[in-house]
Amino acid sequence: MNILAEYFIKKENIVKELKHLDVNQNETDRILKLSEEIGTFKLLQIILERLEEEDKKLFLEHFYSGTPEAVTMFLREKIENVETILKEQSALLEQEILNDISKLKE
Amino acid sequence: MFWVFNNKKKNRDIDPLARRLEQKREEYLDQLKDKHKELVDWADEKGISPEELVQKGARGMAAGVAAGAVILSSGLSQVGGLEPARNNQSEINVESSVKARKDISGTIKKLLGRVGFADERKLTRELSKTLKMDVKEELNGIKLNTNYGVIGYESHLSRYPGDNIGSHLETSEGKINFGHASMAGGPGAWGYLAPSQKALKARDIEREKYYLVVQTFLSPNWGSPQVKNWFRHRKMVVVNPENGAVVVGAIEDAGPEPSTGSNFGGSPEVMEALGFSSGGRHVLMYFIDDPKDQIPLGPYGI
């Protein structure tokens, strides 16, 4: 799991919601994996929108084969308040997914 | 048998939700590819798809994910506030993240048992195949005095003037695991990695974290500034033959003194990753031919 999915995509509320619906572990894992992938694509988009052209390739290199420390240092250097931005966007995404889950109850 | 399967507890049908999320996933991926052609071009150059960037990147980063998360969480508390429990959660994830990475130690132990240490050319060839990197006992005509010997547990290196143990260990994971290691009084044999804290780059941090010490001055090729510079930042693979652990590090210091009885040195992070809590243990060390600088430093896993 990548650093974006690991840290920013909060899974606790999704798991809790799925438990209420009596969803088994395999299906929960399937939904979590999809949530992580959606979150990563979304956050990558947000990051790339905020990076200068010459930094985008560097970031991708770090993200692909660097360490979390390298990714963190790089993003902090290049994007002001990066954690706050990513956290806010992740919260919106989480709410979207929770809304989708709640539709199952209907 | 069929009856048994059909009578398994039927949970709520989540297919509509999964389909909705799959659709959303595709939408986000399409948006990402449409808006950021540079990502598609970069992935093309690497020979991967944008989807694989997420999957393969995850694998490469797995061992250190929690460390990064802790860094991010400490940053969050400065800029936006974050509940402290997230730190704990992140640290708990270290173990599961490490487990997610395929452990190759058993394969390495078997390989060493089969090939032995005597035929270095054969050993490096086999290691290259298994580790999927170009492992060399001699690179660009340059050799070490030995590729098998005793490794010492080194202190942290000063990365820039004024670097101290507090600024050094940014992660709580680092403080827990490596805080006991002391700080060297100065930089490595080639000077500081950065002229100041501000100038310190992610790559410098990685190089110090996984730094190696070799007896450059005992190399049969020693004697010119070119050779000295050749060694700097040179990547090497370190193998603990006892447990099969493998770490990729970078040469950032020269030593140890022959009188110490050691042949090599490793940073606290290198040593712990090899499974050593102190020095005085035998390892194998070989150069890695990585001209495009694509092989990440740190504990190795596939």
ipTM of the complex: 0.90
Tell me the backbone φ, ψ of residue B221, rounded to 5 degrees.
-95, 0
Give the model confidence (pLDDT) of B27-49 as tens digits. Answer: 989 998 899 988 888 888 877 78
Say yes or no to pLDDT of A104 above 80.
no
Given CB atoms, is B92 within the 8 Å cutoff of chain A?
A: no
Alpha-carbon gap: B130 to the closest alpha carbon of chain A (Å): 19
In the three-class reduction of DSSP (H, G, I as helix; E, B as strand; rest coil), residue A2 is classed as coil
- pLDDT score recorded for residue B91: 29
Q: Which residue of A has its CA nearest to B90?
A: A7
- pLDDT score recorded for residue B184: 64
Give contacts of B42 with chain A, Cβ < 8 Å: 56-57, 60
Say yes or no to pLDDT of A21 above 60.
yes
Residue A24 and residue B11: Cβ atoms within 8 Å? yes
The number of C-alpha atoms within 13 Å of B175 and in the hemisphere containing its C-beta is: 10
Q: Which residue of B has its CA nearest to A10?
A: B86
C-alpha distances out from residue A63 to A29, A70, B200, Å: 24, 8, 19
Alpha-carbon gap: B228 to the closest alpha carbon of chain A (Å): 27
Give contacts of A15 with chain B, Cβ < 8 Å: none
Given CB atoms, is B75 within the 8 Å cutoff of chain A?
A: yes
Residue B79: name the closest of A85, A91, A59, A40 by CA. A85
- pLDDT score recorded for residue B57: 54
Given CB atoms, is A47 within the 8 Å cutoff of chain B?
A: no
Residue A67 and residue B31: Cβ atoms within 8 Å? no
Residue A67 and residue B297: Cβ atoms within 8 Å? yes
Give contacts of A100 with chain B, Cβ < 8 Å: 17, 20-21, 24
Given CB atoms, is B68 within the 8 Å cutoff of chain A?
A: yes
- pLDDT score recorded for residue B62: 36
| Contact between residue B90 and residue B73 where contact means Cβ atoms under 8 Å apart | yes
Token pair recorded at residue B199: 């100038």
- pLDDT score recorded for residue A4: 75
Given CB atoms, is B197 within the 8 Å cutoff of chain A?
A: no
Stretches where chain B sits below pLDDT 50 are 1-10, 58-101, 171-173, 176
Token pair recorded at residue B21: 């999320």
- pLDDT score recorded for residue B197: 85
| Contact between residue B21 and residue B29 where contact means Cβ atoms under 8 Å apart | no
State the pTM of this model.
0.52
| Contact between residue B156 and residue B167 where contact means Cβ atoms under 8 Å apart | no
- pLDDT score recorded for residue A17: 85
Q: To the nearest whole percent, how much of chain A has pLDDT over 70? A: 90
Alpha-carbon gap: B76 to the closest alpha carbon of chain A (Å): 6
Residue A69 and residue B64: Cβ atoms within 8 Å? yes
Residues 139-178 of chain B whose Cβ lies under 8 A from any Cβ of chain A = 170-171
- pLDDT score recorded for residue B260: 84
Place of tokens 């080639």: B190
Give the model confidence (pLDDT) of A43-94 as tens digits. Answer: 899 999 999 988 898 888 878 776 666 777 788 888 888 888 888 888 888 8
